Amino acid sequence: MDAHQNARTTPHRRRLIVERLSEGWSVSAVATALGLDPKTVRKWRARFAAEGAAGLRDRSSRPHRSPTRLDARAEAEIARLRRERLSGPAIARQARRPLSTVGRVLRRLGLGRLAALDPKPPVRRYERERPGELIHIDTKKLGRIDGIGHRITGHRSGMRRNRGIGWDHLHVAVDDASRLAFTEILPDDRKASATGFLARALAFFESHGVVVERVMTDNGSAYRSGAFATAIQSAGLRHSRTRPYTPRTNGKAERFIQSSLREWACARPFTSSAERRQAMLPWIGRYNHSRPHAALGGQPPISRIAKDNLLGSDS
């Protein structure tokens, strides 16, 4: 239902009208009690008598007839010109129609933007066969916290302002095959932090018996740096980068970050960045060892790691 914000009657109140009339109330008494015009009460009484409970629901406000609407032939001509990649003004001139009419037709046909003419690339989903074959690495900025703000309490008096106090940077590494994940919160996302995180992530996966072969990152400056390239080469890894402006290429890391925000970083109010940091380790432990994962048939990531390879655990 999409009732007008000033509407006096809702489906519940319409049922109340019918109920009171059935109890013997007069039309004028019902109208006075509910602050309605008697004509409105009679309208809903008539609709209920004709259609039953269905008559008390909202009806579409679309007119039954639109005599000034363009016919199908004229709309087809506008669509044909659009598929020749003509702009709205060009179509209006060639079809000799007002620009507003052309724009309305194009929006109705879903052709309001030229991009709508281009076929959407097919969604290519993939999953590596064995753990370590590909590790996704990404970062996410988290605003630092110094006390609970007005967005949580609902009032501004005495609240701290967290704006402008800086950022923490969540670094994540997710195994493509198993979804086993390693995370750290670091002060920045520069090359030194990215390189150090890579080394610790590799050690984490090694402790679980996972030999990393390839790393995928975006095109951030830290991942294009010489220091990061040297670290990749020293570890005997291959480095793949996502296509520019195509974050879905690194989709498993992006999806993991969404889960992190929803289930940990933004799941409850924190009084400080340190408190949020402390809550991260228990959450990532549950994520890896007990949280059901939809892409893994309801099993946790650790279920895809061979038991014989488990040399350590999350810490």
Note the pLDDT tens digit of each residue in 18-48.
Answer: 999 999 999 999 999 988 999 999 999 999 9
Reduced to 3 states, what is the DSSP secondary structure of residue 163?
A: coil
Q: How far apart are CA 147 and CA 155, in angstroms?
A: 14
The answer to whether 139 and 220 have CB atoms below 8 angstroms apart is: yes
Instruction: Look at residue 183 and tell me whether its pLDDT is greater than 80.
Output: yes
Q: Which helix (H) or strand (E) holds 241?
A: strand 238-241
Most confident of 174-183, 249-258, 291-300, 306-315: 174-183
Answer with the residue of higher pLDDT: 161 or 268.
268
Instruction: Identify the pLDDT of residue 125.
Output: 65
**Amino acid letter for position 230:** T
Lowest-pLDDT range, 34-43, 145-154, 190-199, 287-296? 145-154
CA nearest neighbour of 259 among 299, 287, 289: 287
The answer to whether 87 and 111 have CB atoms below 8 angstroms apart is: no
The answer to whether 145 and 272 have CB atoms below 8 angstroms apart is: yes
* Mean pLDDT (whole number) for 110-136: 82
**pLDDT confidence band for 7 (50 / 70 / 90):** low
Residues 45-88: tens digit of each pLDDT: 999 999 998 888 888 888 888 888 889 999 999 999 999 999 99
Instruction: Identify the pLDDT of residue 220.
Output: 92
Instruction: Identify the pLDDT of residue 151.
Output: 56
Instruction: Identify the pLDDT of residue 312.
Output: 46
The answer to whether 175 and 210 have CB atoms below 8 angstroms apart is: yes
Residue 177 vs residues 26, 128, 235: alpha-carbon distances, Å: 71, 5, 20
Beta strands 214-217; 135-143: pairing state: parallel
Instruction: Look at residue 8 and tell me whether its pLDDT is greater than 80.
Output: no
Q: How far apart are CA 66 and CA 2, in angstroms?
A: 22
The overall pTM is greater than 0.75: no
Q: What angle do CA 173, 221, 172 make, to 5 degrees?
A: 10
Q: How far apart are CA 73 and CA 71, in angstroms?
A: 6
**pLDDT confidence band for 201 (50 / 70 / 90):** very high
* Mean pLDDT (whole number) for 258-280: 92
Lowest-pLDDT range, 38-52, 133-147, 234-248, 300-314? 300-314
Instruction: Look at residue 130 and tell me whether its pLDDT is greater than 50.
Output: yes
Q: How far apart are CA 61 and CA 66, in angstroms?
A: 13
The answer to whether 174 and 181 have CB atoms below 8 angstroms apart is: yes
CA nearest neighbour of 211 among 314, 127, 130: 130
Most confident of 157-166, 266-275, 305-314: 266-275
Q: Looking at the DSSP assignment, which residues form a beta bridge with residue 56?
A: none
Question: Which CATH fold topology does 135-309 show?
Answer: Nucleotidyltransferase; domain 5 (3.30.420)
What is the token pair recorded at 99?
A: 């620009």
Share of the chain above pLDDT 90, in %: 65
- Quote the DSSP letter at residue 264: I
CA nearest neighbour of 204 among 168, 167, 178: 178
**pLDDT confidence band for 310 (50 / 70 / 90):** low
Q: What angle do CA 24, 30, 32 make, to 5 degrees?
A: 145
Q: How far apart are CA 186 and CA 274, in angstroms?
A: 12
Q: How far apart are CA 152 and CA 132, in angstroms?
A: 41
Q: Which residues of 181-211 are buried (b: 16+ CB within 10 A; e: fewer)?
A: bbbbbbeebebebbbebbeebbebbebbbbe
**Amino acid letter for position 170:** L
CATH number for region 11-56 = 1.10.10
Instruction: Identify the pLDDT of residue 115.
Output: 85
